[in-house]
Amino acid sequence: MRISPFERFANYAILIIVALVVLTPVATILVTAFGPASASDARVGMWHPENFQAAWVEGRFGQYMATSVLVAVIVVTLTVVLSSLSGYAFGTMRFPGSTPLFYLFLLGIMVPAEVIVVPLFYDLRDIGLVDTIWAVALPQVAQSVAFGTYWMRTYFRGVNRSMIEAAKLDGASSRRILWSVLLPMGRPALTTMTVLVFMWTWNEFLIPLVMSPSGQFRTAPLGLAFFQGQYTQGTALLAAGAILVALPVVLLYIFLQRHFIKGMLEGAVKE
């Protein structure tokens, strides 16, 4: 089917307009971050990369981002392992109660964190986990495993059954089939899930706020909110802090974008 020159022009025009709408706020934040933080700085010049160093030190983003990285590593690692195991069970095996149990997992996607965060706080306080890294990480693991189970189940149900049967005929156990056959094939689906879980974990605000009342395990987005309360007028430092917080997610997506897009196109439409 041939595309007329007018249709091609209209497609590119729409894409350019959408790109401008999306990129204009990003460009505004970048310009503001490198702009003068005060009137005295404006007299020196309009280019001030030292805003990032000032925001990093004054906002204590080094400590907050280290906490965010630790939480993200715990959440992503546990989610990938547990979701692969549960998704494999639900996607390739049939056992009594599998359907009701799978829908129980889906409750973790449908129930928002705002509904359970208060009783969860008291439960974790009773067992002495409040104000620890586990109080911040484990609730997010539970939420992410609910999505990850659904995601990996969809992938495993789309795998050609003949490959699984051939591996069984060769004497491979269920564990061998999972780790040596299915997971290497499912790298795009795993990568997509990793990026999504990392992004959600990195941007999580409510759980770190509630589960670490002393602020000892404050994450980067939470630290940015407190930094905003200190610098309501310093838009340059706020913009620099916002870029510092968003940069890890952007870099991860740029690095894994090919696998991410492939997983979104393949892994999400197999069911």
In the numeric block, the tokens 């059954």 are attached to: 161
What is the mean pLDDT of the segment spanning 54-70?
90
Q: Are 236 and 35 in contact, with CB atoms under 8 Å apart?
A: yes
Residues 6+ apart with CB under 8 A from 163: 181
| Residue 14 pLDDT class (50, 70, 90 cuts) | very high
b/e per residue 93-106 (b: at least 16 CB within 10 A): eeeeeeeeebeebe
Q: What is the pLDDT of residues 95-145, one digit of tens each?
A: 888 888 888 888 888 888 888 899 999 999 999 989 999 999 999 999 899
Q: Is the pLDDT of residue 67 over 90?
A: yes
Confidence at residue 17, expressed as pLDDT on a 0 to 100 scale: 95
Of residues 224, 208, 200, 76, the one with CA closest to residue 131: 208
Confidence at residue 271, expressed as pLDDT on a 0 to 100 scale: 42
Confidence at residue 269, expressed as pLDDT on a 0 to 100 scale: 44
- C-alpha–C-alpha distance, residues 267 and 134, integer Å: 30
In this predicted model, which residue has the larger pLDDT, 200 or 95? 200
Of residues 69, 25, 84, 21, the one with CA closest to residue 242: 25
- C-alpha–C-alpha distance, residues 104 and 99, integer Å: 9
Confidence at residue 208, expressed as pLDDT on a 0 to 100 scale: 92
Listing DSSP states for 242-270 in one string gives HHHHHHHHHHHHHHHHHHHHHHHHHGGG-
Of residues 88, 84, 133, 79, the one with CA closest to residue 108: 79
pTM, rounded to two decimals? 0.84
Q: What is the pLDDT of residues 156-195, one digit of tens each?
A: 888 888 888 888 887 878 888 888 888 888 888 888 899 8
| Residue 41 pLDDT class (50, 70, 90 cuts) | low
Of residues 215, 195, 217, 197, the one with CA closest to residue 263: 195
Q: What is the pLDDT of residues 214-271, one digit of tens each?
A: 888 989 999 888 887 765 566 888 888 889 999 888 888 888 777 667 666 664 444 4
| Residue 84 pLDDT class (50, 70, 90 cuts) | very high
In this predicted model, which residue has the larger pLDDT, 51 or 219? 219
What is the mean pLDDT of the segment spanning 26-39?
81
